[in-house]
């Protein structure tokens, strides 16, 4: 598969929409629309007893307050995903962590966007100052780790499902 070229057809704050032309190995050519995204990072943060999640209004989906991992977009300047994860944990939860482990990275919807989401587990937590500008509509939700199964059952967000199912598998290992 060879990329023949592309053009930006729309540009906004969430990114650009690009139309790319491709030639497949069998010679056939095709066009594909792609929503460009800088990538994102999310954090499964727990202290062995309590898991720290956030609730926030999400305009695109008709869900008043989705339960999610603390997470955010990579800075446009090509921020390292671990730095994004540390920044979001501090801004949204008001915590730092002494132990960080990368668990997986995945494409959220590879049929139409290049968004790659990087997930980390953060443990050995300590208090940091939350950023009041960033989290005025974010509610911190502290969940007992013993409630992991019902939280997973009610979860409606891809990165949060992946992170909590991964945590569940590692705790039961």
Q: Shortest Cβ distance from residue 124 to a copy of itself (Å)?
A: 24
76 catalytic? Reply is: no
Integer Cα distance of 66 and 142 in angstroms: 14
Integer Cα distance of 149 and 72 in angstroms: 25
Integer Cα distance of 121 and 58 in angstroms: 24
Active site residue: 33, 76, 134, 139, which one? 134
Residues that bind a copy of itself (CB under 8 A): 1, 3, 9-10, 12-15, 17, 19-20, 22, 24, 30, 32-35, 37, 40, 57-64, 66, 68, 73, 104-117, 137, 153, 155-159, 161-162, 165-166, 168-169, 172
Nearer to a copy of itself, 110 or 144 (CB): 110
Q: Shortest Cβ distance from residue 156 to a copy of itself (Å)?
A: 5
Integer Cα distance of 20 and 3 in angstroms: 7
Name the residue among 61, 65, 41 with its Cα closest to residue 138: 65
- Residues belonging to the active site: 134
């Amino acid at each position: 598969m060879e990329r023949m070229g592309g053009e930006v057809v729309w540009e906004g704050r969430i990114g650009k929409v690009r139309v790319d032309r491709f030639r497949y190995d069998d010679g056939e050519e095709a066009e594909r629309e792609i929503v460009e995204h800088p990538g994102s990072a999310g954090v499964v943060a727990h202290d062995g007893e309590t898991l720290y999640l956030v609730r926030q209004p999400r305009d695109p989906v008709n869900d008043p307050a989705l339960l999610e991992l603390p997470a955010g977009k990579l800075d446009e300047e090509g921020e390292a995903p671990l730095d994004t994860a540390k920044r979001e944990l501090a801004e949204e939860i008001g915590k730092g962590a002494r132990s960080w482990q990368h668990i997986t990275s995945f494409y959220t919807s590879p049929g139409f966007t290049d968004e790659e989401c990087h997930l980390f587990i953060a443990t050995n937590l300590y208090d940091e100052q939350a950023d009041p500008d960033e989290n005025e509509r974010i509610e911190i939700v502290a969940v007992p780790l013993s409630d992991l199964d019902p939280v997973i059952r009610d979860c409606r967000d891809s990165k949060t499902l992946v992170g909590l199912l991964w945590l569940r598998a590692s705790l039961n290992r």
